[in-house]
Structure formats: structure tokens, C-alpha cells
Amino acid sequence: MHQDNQKKPLSLSIPTLLELSGWFPQLEPEAQARVLDEMREQHVAAGAALCRRGETPLHWYGTLEGLLKWSLTSDDGRSVTFGGLSVGSWFGEGTLLRAVPRTADIIALRDSRVAVLPIDTFEWLHRTQMSFNHFLLVQINERLHWFMGNYAAQRLLDTDSQVARALAGLFHPWLHPLGQTHLETSQEEIANLSGLSRQRCNAALNRLREKGLLRIEYGGITVVDLEGLRGVGEGV
């Protein structure tokens, strides 16, 4: 069996996630100690919600293990997926800063583990740590740019481009900073993130494979040419 096929799912502890993040190492020692003391871990079963639309936001989150999606389902059952939240990503800051109920759901696509920071600690960091505010500003700007691209892609690009964009989004250098090239994900999960049927997504994945951009393996996908994948996702 190919060595990539034997890779275990990426799993981080809270201290490791923090050390690999773009914000924690820049904090003052007092702030680092408080974050380590107050951050907790939460398990989310596959198909379960970490948080739901309409709930009052109480935490900021970082993904330790698994894969979650950020989505919205209408009362008549129609659904739109805004993106995936892979290991190493931080999310939920926009709702906390706006101080309004959540406008979307965070759903686990597989059994997942999430680091949870209380809102009081988040707000204290926001008030006292300039480096933390810089991180939030850049992250929100990157996410806004990504969402604008998604809006255009869903209206202007073909199926292959939509699947390529969903995959490339899980390797975004700021929103998903760990830099791994192998993604432990199923084709069904990619279809979910792409907002496409499994059949159409599988056909697109096979065409991307034939172009030499990725390898489809047992239990995951390895990106061979990330820049090429991003180009397809941008309609290039």
C-alpha cells in the first residue's frame, strides 16, 4: 500500500495548536498563561453541530482534529456551504466582535475536536493585545476576500473550478495555516463543501486527477500541484 494511504488523521493538542498559530506566540507572557489556563477542548460527533444559527456566541474556536463546515440551511431545507474548517483553523471571531446571534451553523463532517476559548478571554485579548488585534484584522480580511471569490465562483465557474476552489480553500495559507498537502477527507465531504452532488463532485475530482493536480487515495486526497489547483479554482 502507498505510504500516503497509511497516514493517520492529523490531530493536535491545545498547546501544539497554539504554538502553530499566527497569534499566540506573539502575545505577552501574561496573556499566553491566561489563554493556556482557560482554553478547553470540546468533542463534536460527525453530523452534530458545534453551534447553531440564532445562538448567542460564547466562544472562539480552533480546530484540533477532524473537519467541520460553515453552512446555512433555510426553513425549506435548502443549504449553502460557506467553507470548510480544517485542523489549524481559527473561527468565530466575527460573531463575537459584532455581539449578535450566530447567523450560520458549524457542523462536523466527521468526529472532530475543537479548542474553545471563552468570550471573556477573547474580549480581554481584544482590549489588551495589539498583536491579537492585528491577527484578527488580517484573518477577517482574508476571509472576506475568500467569500467574495466564492460568491463569484458559484455563479461564473464550472463544476471543476468549484471543486478545485473548495479543496484549495482547505490549504489557504492564512485561514488553514499548517501547510499539509495530504487531506484526510472523503469524496462525500468534498462534495458537501463544494455544494454539489456526490456524483458531480466525483467526476470533477477525477478530471482534476487526470490533469495531474491531485491524487485520490484510500481515506484522503493528496494535492500534487497546489498552485495549479488554485488556478483552476480561480477560473484560470
What's the pLDDT tens digit per position in 74-116?
A: 777 777 777 888 899 999 999 999 999 998 999 998 899 999 9
Count: domains in the chain: 1
Residue 185's closest CA among 85, 52, 72?
A: 85
Neighbouring C-beta atoms of residue 18, cutoff 10 Å: 20
Name the band, by pLDDT with cuts 50, 70 and 90, for residue 8.
Answer: low
3-class DSSP assignment, residue 213 = coil
Residue 65's closest CA among 111, 11, 16?
A: 11
Q: What is the pLDDT of residue 192?
A: 80
Q: What is the pLDDT of residue 183?
A: 77
Residue 231, pLDDT above cutoff 50:
yes
With beta carbons less than 8 A apart as the criterion, state whether 45 and 108 touch. Answer: yes
Q: Which residue has the cell 498537502?
A: 181
Which CATH number do you get for residue 90? Answer: 2.60.120.10
Residue 202, pLDDT above cutoff 50:
yes
Domain that holds residue 87: 3-233
Express each pLDDT in 33-49 by its tens digit. 999 999 999 999 999 99
Q: What is the pLDDT of residue 233?
A: 74
CA-CA distance, 165 to 232, in Å (whole number)? 7
pTM of the predicted model as reported, rounded to 2 decimal places: 0.80
